[in-house]
């Protein structure tokens, strides 16, 4: 009796690494001295101190059971310390990090939770072969961004038409790059984040940002209902409490400002005076945990949906939440 496989099984392309292994074995069988660079397998051996730690871990009874689903707290704390020491980035080990068994598993998880069938995923070409496999399994279109030698083997993000970006839900950035080895400067990632925010604003029909900056305001934030009531019924009172504050009601706060400002005082003002922008504020990658928790306590459905997404962002990817279908363009 034939076994019926799901349609997705027939969409999985052959494993490129398995093909390379067969070629290497065949060549060695002919007596060829092969230097195998296909998978980057090291030919060295772990240092003794690493082997000692590993042996101790095997003998520890605490390791003879299932680990916490998010990862061991000590591991997550060590990872948070690494981001702090190496990149100067502060991450909450309990909410901002998730342990996976390897890069492929982590990327497969991201593709599964961020992509629906018919969405598009963009990545530099040449690319890590697993991207192609994952996109096929999700029924997603691939947007290949040619890596150019004159740009240091980086893709030219500005050369991609807006009509193509409209369908992209996920942009994968992998640097130092596999397989080119290229490294990307900070400006490249800043450009990618700016592009993602602009795309999010365009797809949501939001306004463009204003140049003026709100002033600092230190009073405790009001509830959403109270802030709405004050703005709607007592605009003079609201202005008197902070004459220079900017309110969404008169157009001085904008969705893009809410999503991009890194100033905690500005975020505070937006939370205080622009409850209609809460849904954009929770998508700000710089939002501080206390404010995020306060917004969650308001139990606003749409805000909490976006909050759930924003707490899962990865430095490895930029997520564009466009809802339009991709038309099949390739760059």
pLDDT (tens digit per residue) in 42-82: 778 889 999 999 999 999 888 888 888 888 888 999 999 99
| Burial (CB count <10 Å: 0-12, 13-18, 19+), residue 238 | buried
Q: According to DSSP H, which parts of 205-288 are helical?
A: 224-233, 235-241, 255-260, 264-273, 278-281
**Domain assignment present for 22:** no
Residues with Cβ within 8 Å of 54's Cβ and at least 6 positions away in sequence, in order, are 46
Answer yes or no: do 228 and 195 share one domain: no
pTM greater than 0.85? no
Residue 292 domain-assigned (yes or no): yes
Instruction: Give the model's pLDDT for residue 7.
Output: 80
Residues 230 and 257 in one domain: yes
* Domain presence at residue 131: yes
Crossing angle (nearest 10°) for helices 289-297 and 301-310:
150
DSSP type of residue 252: -
pLDDT value of position 261? 82
| Domain containing residue 175: CATH number | 3.40.640.10
Among 224, 216, 310, CA closest to 260: 310
Neighbours of 299 (CB within 10 A): 9
237 and 197 part of one domain: no
Residues of the chain scoring pLDDT < 50: 206-251, 309-331
For residue 116, what is the enclosing H or E element?
none
Q: How many CB atoms lie within 10 A of CB 189?
A: 14
Residue 121 lies in a domain: yes
Number of domains in the chain: 2
Nearest to 157 by CA among 148, 149, 145: 145
The rounded distance, in Å, linking the Cα atoms of 18 and 157 is 32
From the number of C-beta atoms within 10 Å of its C-beta (0-12, 13-18, 19+), residue 278 rates as buried
* 296 and 255 share one domain: yes
**Burial classification of residue 169, based on how many CB atoms lie within 10 Å of its CB (0-12 exposed, 13-18 middle, 19 or more buried):** buried
- Give me the sheet containing 154-155, strands edge to edge: 154-155, 141-148, 120-125, 168-172, 317-319
Count of CB atoms situated within 10 Å of the CB of 326? 21
Q: What is the tens place of the pLDDT at every residue in 163-173?
A: 888 889 999 99
Question: End-to-end CA distance of the chain, in Å?
Answer: 45
Domain that holds residue 272: 224-310
User: 80: Cβ–Cβ under 8 A, 6 or more apart, which residues?
Assistant: 90, 91, 92, 93, 96, 97
Domain assignment present for residue 58? The answer is: no
Residues 130 and 160 both lie in one domain:
yes
One domain for residues 122 and 182:
yes
Residues 6+ apart with CB under 8 A from 87: none
pLDDT for the residue numbered 207: 45
C-alpha to C-alpha distance for 323 and 168, rounded to whole angstroms: 9
The pLDDT of residue 252: 64
């Amino acid at each position: 009796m034939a076994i019926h496989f799901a349609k997705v099984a027939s969409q999985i392309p052959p494993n490129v690494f398995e093909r390379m292994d067969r070629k290497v074995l065949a060549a060695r069988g002919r007596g060829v001295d092969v230097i195998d660079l296909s998978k980057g397998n090291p030919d060295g051996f772990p240092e003794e101190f690493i082997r000692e730690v590993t042996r101790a871990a095997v003998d520890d009874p605490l390791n003879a059971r299932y680990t916490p689903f998010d990862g061991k707290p000590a591991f997550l704390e060590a990872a948070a310390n690494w981001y702090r020491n190496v990149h100067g980035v502060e991450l909450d080990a309990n909410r901002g990090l998730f342990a996976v068994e390897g890069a492929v598993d982590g990327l497969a998880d991201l593709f599964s939770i961020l992509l629906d069938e018919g969405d598009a995923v963009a990545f530099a070409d040449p690319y890590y072969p697993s991207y192609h496999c994952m996109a096929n399994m999700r029924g997603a279109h691939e947007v290949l961004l040619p890596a150019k030698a004159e740009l240091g083997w980086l893709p030219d993000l500005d050369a991609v038409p807006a009509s193509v970006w409209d369908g992209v839900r996920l942009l994968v950035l992998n640097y130092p790059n596999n397989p080119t080895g290229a490294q990307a400067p900070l400006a490249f990632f800043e450009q990618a984040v700016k592009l993602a925010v602009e795309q999010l604003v365009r797809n949501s029909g939001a306004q463009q940002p204003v140049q003026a900056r709100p002033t600092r305001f230190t009073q405790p934030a009001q509830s959403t209902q109270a802030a709405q009531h004050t703005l709607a019924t007592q605009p003079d009172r609201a202005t008197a409490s902070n004459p220079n504050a900017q309110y969404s009601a008169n157009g001085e706060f904008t969705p893009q400002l809410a999503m991009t400002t890194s100033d905690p005082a500005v975020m505070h003002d937006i939370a205080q005076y622009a409850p209609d922008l809460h849904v954009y504020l929770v998508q700000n990658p710089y939002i501080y945990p206390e404010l995020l928790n306060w917004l969650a306590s308001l139990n606003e459905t749409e805000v909490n949906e976006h909050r759930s997404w924003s707490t899962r962002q990865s430095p490895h990817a930029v997520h564009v939440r466009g809802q339009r279908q991709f038309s099949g363009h390739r760059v």
